[in-house]
Amino acid sequence: MKIYSVMDPEFKAYGQVVKGYDTAELLDAMKKIEMPAAGVAYEASIASLEYCGIFGKLQNNEYGGMPIQLGMCWGHNTKLNCLEYHRDSEINIGVGDFILLLAKQDEIVDGVLDTAKVKAFRAPAGVPVEVFATSLHYAPCHVDAKEGFRVAVVLPKGTNTAVPALTPVNEEDKWMTACNKWLLAHAESSEAKSGAHIGLSGKNIDIAE
């Protein structure tokens, strides 16, 4: 598949590059976190990252004073597997270049999205990238198999923590797998095997191919 840049006009429907932030301190803190032996790790809130000066600026400027969390997704990945969305934008900042596989919420038809709709976007190291609330996304993909990826994940506080106790009132409620997280899984994914809603049809995209 073609890999666009987040600087390309094609990205405008999915998100935007956020300017004006010094990310050096955050990147240094991210580099100190050990890579997982295999696969992908995610923590919603990491104290060493939230101690960085950029945390308060993102909270006040980008999120308008809303409480936020600053965590990280890191490891090795080349596959789509799932797509998720939140009710709020997510900001990603990578130690190195990384690739996002994205689709749009309005492309979901009867609870299913065709993976042929998915587009790939490469984000440059150290550049904050906002992924809009209406953009479906999941774990980043690495550019360098040896280096893997380290990507900061900024979201409203509580996102991706325990799913709230609720009684579903509509179909979308059944897709919720965590707080402020709705998930569409591909049948081949481990998430689907764990009971997540199978909402991706077509090929389970692997950028390594």
* pLDDT tens, position by position, 179-209: 999 999 999 999 999 999 999 999 999 999 8
**Percent of the residues in the chain that have a pLDDT greater than 90, as a whole number:** 98
In DSSP terms, 75 is beta-bridged to: 40, 149
Distance in Å from the first CA to the final CA of the chain: 9
pTM exceeding 0.85: yes
Q: pLDDT at position 196, please?
A: 96
The CATH number of residue 132's host domain is 2.60.120.10
- How many structural domains are present in the chain? 1
Flag whether 191 is in a domain. yes
Flag whether 149 is in a domain. yes
Flag whether 208 is in a domain. no
- Residue 11 CA to residue 181 CA, distance in Å, equals 22
Q: 60: Cβ–Cβ under 8 A, 6 or more apart, which residues?
A: none
Higher pLDDT, 1 or 114: 114
Query: Six-digit token pair at 77?
Result: 């990945």
Flag whether 207 is in a domain. no
37 pLDDT exceeds 90?
no
Main-chain dihedrals φ then ψ at residue 130, nearest 5 degrees: -90, 125
Spatial CA neighbour of 207 closest among 113, 126, 97: 97
- Residue 137 CA to residue 188 CA, distance in Å, equals 17
Flag whether 54 is in a domain. yes
Q: Which residue segment(s) compose the domain that 145 sits in?
A: 3-201
Flag whether 169 is in a domain. yes
